[in-house]
Amino acid sequence: MSHRFAALACALWLTGCAAAPFATPAMPRPTAPAFIPDPFETNADCATLCIQRVSSRNIPKWRKLEFDLATTVQADNPFDPAQIAINVRFTSPDGSVVEVPAFFYSHEGRQGWKARFTPTAEGKWRAQPVLHVPFAFQGEPVTFRALPPLPGSHGFLRVDRRNSRYLAFDDGTPFFAIGLNLAWWKDDPIGDYRRWFDALQANGANAARIWMAPQSFSLEWRDTPLGDYTARMDRAHYLDQVFEMAEARGIYIQLTLLDYSQFSVNVYPLWHENPYNAANGGPCARPRDFATDPAARALFKQRLRYIAARWGYATNLMAWEWWNEVNFTEMVETELLKPWIEEMTAALRAHDPYRHLITTSYSVPGDPHIWNMPEIDVVQRHEYIGEDARWFKPVEGGRALFRHMKDIAVKPVVIGEFAATFTFERPNALTREGIQFHNGLWAAAFNGFASTAMYWWWDTLVEPANLWLHYKGISTFLRGEDLARYAPTPVAVAPEQDAIALGLRAPGRILIWLRNRAYNMDEGAYQYGVQIATGQAKEHTFRFEPRRLDEVTLTLEAVGDGRHRVQWFDTVSGKLLLASEVVASGGVLVVNAPPFNRDLAAKVVRVDG
């Protein structure tokens, strides 16, 4: 989709953010620190290669362990595994073995080799440094023990084994992504993300989509030689801290590895700046050569090795995303993209023993041949209302969009980007209402998606207009709910012309989102135009208030006879507005909604029978 470039930030004096245990994914909350690392130094002979320091000798399962390594082997380019390749071989308590690559680290005059690992089983582990290039050598092993996981620690994200439309953790805990895009920083790479993550956490959100773009966290661009990331070690250090800050706040990151603009000659074209461009000394005469040229493929595999080594440990890495909107590049052709994804996924997973989820994205529905690849775990859709309003009108279009996407592949579907228009959305009296932003959160949750609609204009609208507050309602309402257990259920509304409702049903429970039909962007824009033009309101006094509905009735069929508790919630604050008991008779439950202007949410729970 839309691609904008923020000014590059000056180098900053950074302060670290200690990782803290994260809490349940349904409603992330940081827990009080329950683990104190006990780092230890080793006395191994470092004539060739050794582990010098380990961050702890006793580490909870699913928590990061970091190793400092020392070697006397030198290389002109320590990022090139053809010159030097160091791994750490981990032997689990049951004897199974995995290797993760070590990575070269450089920051503020300190440099050396590190490895990061997250134990996936309790018990005694063995870690042995291994040199593969320029010659074979095995250093002395060290041992550590993995303890039981901390409360609120659930492992890595997977496709839910019970319902392939949703996500869950290794231990089976369900996860529904509530968040938005935070693709790059605005002014201060650490201060901005800390402020945004704080706002997400304060309102119960748990997800962010972040790009490794040229203006943010990419390891290669015009300021680097290909395959040598020295000039961008500051970006890697920023991303370290972003992952740590996110983990401490219960936020899961979808990390986008490539942005179309880098390989585009038409849409926000930056191909002329790309170091892979032959005009800049790279191996590719055309952008499409990135998919086929052996040197280009080898260089990108090298980059993937480094990315997996440095950030693959993270349990709060929700998914790797290959491309942001690949359809704006020449690689969109199935004949090019499919073998490239097959090859690069194999390369990435060779260094990612945790098998993080993988996705990619288009600005259009996408290619079924790609979505159905076994290498793609999560289907992604981007929706901008200005493009085609019929697709995602907050309720009706949401149904159509999900039906369309679910017919492509039986996988989780996320709305990775969403907004009212392609153009900059800045705060004014209308956009501050957050109509489309708000409705996207609820419509996605009630239409079978694995995430809320992930809004795009985070720095020009969401933050200035303080739309973060809208996450409180959806996160509070869904706390403790397992959407994988629910299925769509019809909810009849009277008067039908005034309101519309979506329902989700699980045994003994029904969730309902009830919306005034007038609560939409078109009606808001109409009222805004009329009131400003006629002098009824000024820019600073306009507020969108659809006509109040006083007598809306909901009818639910095929419910058990007997008493049902009905709770009505404010969709912004999440506060309980009203609770009552209603008796169903003949399998039919009739519920009177309280008066409302915009929308309401309800939980109906059977309490007897």
Task: Spell 157-187 as b/e; 16+ CB within 10 A means b.
Answer: bbbbeebebbbbbbeebbbbbbbbbbbbbbe
Strand 207-211 versus strand 179-181 pairing type: parallel
Q: How confident is the model at residue 525 (pLDDT cuts 50, 70, 90)?
A: confident
Percent of the chain with pLDDT over 90: 81
Taking a C-beta distance cutoff of 8 angstroms, is the pair 373, 341 a contact? yes
Per the structure block, which two tokens stand in for 416? 């990775």
Q: What are phi and psi of 381, to 5 degrees?
A: -130, 140
Q: Give Cα 320 distance to the centre of its chain.
A: 9
Average pLDDT over residues 19-26: 34
pLDDT, one tens digit per residue, over 393-444 is 544 555 566 566 666 789 999 999 999 876 778 888 888 999 999 999 999 9
Q: How confident is the model at residue 290 (pLDDT cuts 50, 70, 90)?
A: very high
Check: CATH 3.20.20.80 for 179-481?
yes
Average pLDDT over residues 479-504: 96
Strand 576-584 versus strand 157-159 pairing type: unpaired
* Amino acid at the residue 392: F
Q: What are phi and psi of 28, to 5 degrees?
A: -60, 130
* Amino acid at the residue 266: N
Beta strands in 478-545 (DSSP E): 487-489, 492-494, 499-506, 509-516
pLDDT for 20 equals 31
CA 236, CA 218: separation in Å to the nearest integer? 8
* Sequence ranges of the chain with CATH classification 3.20.20.80: 179-481
Q: How many residues does the chain have?
A: 609
Per the structure block, which two tokens stand in for 422? 């392609």
CATH number of 40-147: 2.60.40.10
Average pLDDT over residues 266-288: 97
pLDDT, one tens digit per residue, over 64-85 is 999 999 999 999 999 999 999 9
| Class at the top of the CATH hierarchy for domain 492-606 | mainly beta
* Sequence ranges of the chain with CATH classification 2.60.40.10: 40-147
Q: What is the mean pLDDT of the chain?
A: 90
